[in-house]
Amino acid sequence: MLSDEENLRQFLQKNESTQYIRLQWIDFSGILRARFVPVARCLQIAQGFENYLLPQVSMIFPVSTRPSPIGNDIETWILRPDWSSLRSCGFRPSHASVMCFLEHKEAKDTYDKCPRMLLSGALAQLEGEYDTKVLIGFEIEVMLLGQNYQPLNQLDRLNSYQTTSGLRGQTLDIVEEILDSFKKSSINIHHFHTETHDQIEFALNHEPALQAIDSLILAQETIRTVFIKHNIKATMAPKPLLDGPTNGIHLHMSVNKLAPTYTDKFLAGILKHMGALCAFGMANFDGYVRTVKDAAGAWIGFGTENRDLPVRKISDQHWEFRMMDSTSNPYLFTGAVLLAGLSGIRERAVLDWEDCQVFPHSLDEGGRVKYQLDKRMPSSLQEALELLKEDTAFQVLIPQGLLGSYILVKEKDVEVFQTMTEKQRLLKFLEYF
């Protein structure tokens, strides 16, 4: 393996225009944070001559109270760039980005609050114990708004699912600019298509899990940046309008080498802890408008090609998890999903749920019993947090420092957001997502 310095120098030789590198991480509110650092200083960091220090507020800003953090303790955090994740910012050739681990200097386990480390550990367990590598791809739903945060007044409007309407003029020009930037950033697109009014979806190719999330984060930033150059707000907020479509991010996961005897147990572990997982995947106050049909699903269960449930089965070793949106920390959510699946294997969990290939909302109570659709998805962030706190079997899977800090941030959001109007909350989320 290349050293940190070798990784960085090789990258700079191939990308001579790079002047600044964005040291990036995702906080507990799902917000991309960055320090913009000159290349010369990055070389000092990669050589081990300098640590990049951060204050304690680097992870614990609730969306509801920004710019004010929570917590009064003086702490020191260190950014640890994963130089193997270094990529050019296709939308700005003088910039590159690198995703970072977060080390909490005063903690007994200095990485116990780092979501990227949580995911890395889960992947290592799957590979070490079950010889399984995880491939991941994401579908990103995006709504396009004007400067007043209202739908664009365009003659050619995005208006329906999988049509050419809305992609006959400027919007398609911008999309192609985004795709050109993706190529420069080594992001591979699977396809793109229209969704509904003023909404478009970008689907990314499968990659190994860490790289896939790095691609997701850079893809989101690319989409936002290129559209804003054209005075269009590309928002991934779960509820971008008071009355209109919702946005989600769908996680596709393949465990191709997992033995067939384990796959049902892996899925059972995830379904068993679904309520707790929602607290990480739909990590915002207003996002639970998606626990309805054709979004994240109203009932806990799975079904082959069934988009009205939180888990769409595509094959015995490939699932789409729909209980995720842009307010999640994707390292934390994906790590939590994998740890839940691992717990199912270790506990020899039984997949009580039947493969539901009909629309759950079309079933009466007796019909739902047939598929074990007897538990509803949480209907609010507060309910999801309560399910997380009640799920003691799941809690032991997550480092206590991370879990405690995360719950504290989200409980503050619940406390503050419930005192605000729906429009006030909407504007907060549009500001960041």
The pLDDT tens digits for 309-329 are 999 999 999 999 999 999 999
Please write the tens of the pLDDT for every residue from 82-127.
999 999 999 999 999 999 999 988 778 889 999 999 999 999 999 9
Please write the tens of the pLDDT for every residue from 362-412.
888 888 888 889 899 999 999 999 999 999 999 999 999 999 999 999 999
Q: The domain 124-432 belongs to what CATH superfamily? A: Glutamine synthetase/guanido kinase, catalytic domain (3.30.590.10)
Mean pLDDT of all residues in 282-287: 94
Which of 250, 254, 226, 228 has its CA nearest to residue 238? 250
- 332 token code pair: 């934390």
Asked whether the predicted pLDDT for residue 73 surpasses 80, the reply is: no
Q: Where are the domains of the chain?
A: 4-111, 124-432
Name, in order, each residue with C-beta under 8 angstroms of 365's C-beta and a sequence gap of 6 or more.
Answer: none
Name, in order, each residue with C-beta under 8 angstroms of 89's C-beta and a sequence gap of 6 or more.
Answer: 22, 95, 96, 97, 181, 185, 218, 221, 222
- What's residue 71's pLDDT? 64
Asked whether the predicted pLDDT for residue 1 surpasses 80, the reply is: no
Burial of 315 (0-12, 13-18, 19+ CB in 10 A): exposed
Q: The domain 4-111 belongs to what CATH superfamily? A: Glutamine synthetase, N-terminal domain (3.10.20.70)
- What's residue 82's pLDDT? 96
Which of 250, 240, 268, 254 has its CA nearest to residue 316? 254
Supply the pTM of this predicted model: 0.95
